[in-house]
Amino acid sequence: MPSGPSARLRVGVLGSGFGGAVHVPAFAAQGRFDVVAIASPNRAEEVARERGVPHAFDTLETLLDGVEVDVVSVATPPYLHRQAVVRSLERGKHVLCEKPFGLNVAECEEMVAAATRAGTICAVAHEFRYMPSAIAIKELLDNGHLGAPRQIESQFVSTWLRAHEQGRGPGWWFEHRRGGGIAGAILSHLIDRASWLAGRPPKSASGFSRTANPQRQFNGSAFASDVADGSFALIDYGEGLVASVSADATHAVDSMLFAVHGEQRTAVASGKGLIDVTTFLVDKDETAELEIAPAKHANLSSIRPDIPLFVALLDEFANAIDGKPAHYPTFEDALATQRVLEAVGYSTSSNP
C-alpha cells in the first residue's frame, strides 16, 4: 500500500462495460489514481488499448496476481459483486463497488463483514449524491431553512423500457435472478440519496415492483424479461420524516423530480433527466429559482455527463484512504439501501 497521502494509488478495474466507459476515465481524471489494469472475460484488451491502461486480464484473480494494485473498482453485473468484493478485501485492497450492492441482504451483510475484517476503505458508487442541486438542497435542509422536514420525494420516469423500445438486448439486465431491472439500476440511487438527505438510515420500508412489459424485442427477435420496469417505495425515517421514491421506465417522457418538503419551505429540483435539473425554493408566498454553482468537475462533462459526479465521489474516496475527513456512500449505507430494495421485491438467491 502507498506509504503516505502523496503516494499514487494504483487501481484495477473489474468490468469492461460501465467500468471501461466511466470508472477508467473517472479514476484517470481525478488526479490521485493511476489505472494500471482492467479485467474482463470479454473486452479487457480492447478497452485497455482504447483507454491507455497498461495491463489487461481475463479475471480478477489473474489481475490481483499479475500486477500490484491498491484499489479494486468493481463494475461487474450485480450477481458478480459479492465474490469480487470479498476476494479483493481478502487481499487487503480498498474497494469501490458499483450499485446495486448485491443480490440480497445476506450478500450485503457478508460484504460489510468482510470490509470490517479488512479494515480498508470501501465505498459504493452512488455518485448522484454529488449533483449540485442535491448538495444545495442538503445544505438548505441541514441549515434549517426548510423547517422541520416531513417528506422526501423522488420520482424518476423515462421511456427506456416501453414495450417498443429496443435500446437493450437480452442479457443479465433483463434477468431478475442476476440482478437486472430498474430497481437496482435507478431506485437504488434514489433510496441512497433520500437516506443521505435524511441523515440516517430507514427505520422501515414497504413497496412493490412490477413488470409491465414481460415480452421485449431486439433486432427483430423476441425475448422474455422478468425484471421490474417500475419500482415504488415508501420509507419511514422516524421523527416525522418519510420518503416516497419511485423509478418507472415505461412512460411517454423522460423526467426527474426530487424534493424535500419541510414545515416552512419546500426545496425541489426537476428536469428532463437524472442530471439536467433546475432547483427551486418554495414557500406559501413565492417560488424562487436557486442559482446553483456548477458541479465541482464540470469541465469533465464532455467525456460523459455523469463523469463530474463520479470524480467528486472519488475525491471523497481518496480523502478517506488518506485518513482525511470524507463523506461518501459506505458499505453500511448500501446495506441499508438493500433492505429497502428487498422490501420492493429486488432480492434473489445468490449464485444465480
Residue written as cell 451483510?
109
In CATH terms, is domain 9-127 a member of 3.90.70.10?
Answer: no
The mean pLDDT value for 130-152 works out to: 97
**Stretch 266-273: mean pLDDT:** 95
Local structure of residue 177 (DSSP, 8 states): G
- Gyration radius of the chain over CA positions: 20
| Contacts of range 301-305, beta carbons closer than 8 Å, 24 or more positions apart | 303/25, 303/29, 304/21, 304/22, 304/25, 305/275, 305/276
Average pLDDT, the chain: 96
pTM of the model: 0.96
- Domain ranges in the chain are 9-127, 129-296+329-343
pLDDT at 195 over 60: yes
What string of DSSP letters covers 212-235? Answer: S--EEEETTEEEE--S-SEEEEEE
Q: For 129-296+329-343, CATH number?
A: 3.30.360.10
| Each residue's pLDDT tens digit, 94-129 | 999 999 999 999 999 999 999 999 999 999 999 999
Residue whose C-alpha is closest to residue 273's, from 249, 289, 293, 257: 257
DSSP-derived 3-state class of residue 46: helix
Instruction: Give the Cα separation of 86 and 115 in Å (integer).
Output: 8
* pLDDT tens per residue, range 198-250: 999 999 999 999 999 999 999 999 999 999 999 999 999 999 999 999 999 99
What residues are paired with 277 via a beta bridge? 271
The x, y and z cell numbers of residue 76, run together, are 461487474
Question: What pLDDT sits at residue 350?
Answer: 79
Residue 324 has pLDDT above 90, yes or no: yes
Task: Decide: 232 and 209 in contact? Cβ < 8 Å.
Answer: yes
Looking at residue 2, its pLDDT comes to 55
Q: Inform me whether the pLDDT recorded for 4 exceeds 60.
A: no
274 confidence band (pLDDT: 50, 70, 90):
confident
Q: How many CB atoms sit inside 10 A of residue 2's CB?
A: 13
Q: Is it true that the peptide bond before 100 is cis, omega within 30 degrees of 0?
A: yes
Helix boundaries (H) for the chain: 18, 24-30, 44-51, 60-66, 81-90, 105-118, 132-142, 182, 188-198, 307-321, 331-343
Q: Tell me what pLDDT residue 6 has.
A: 66
Q: Which of 285, 238, 290, 231 is nearest to 259 (CA)?
A: 290
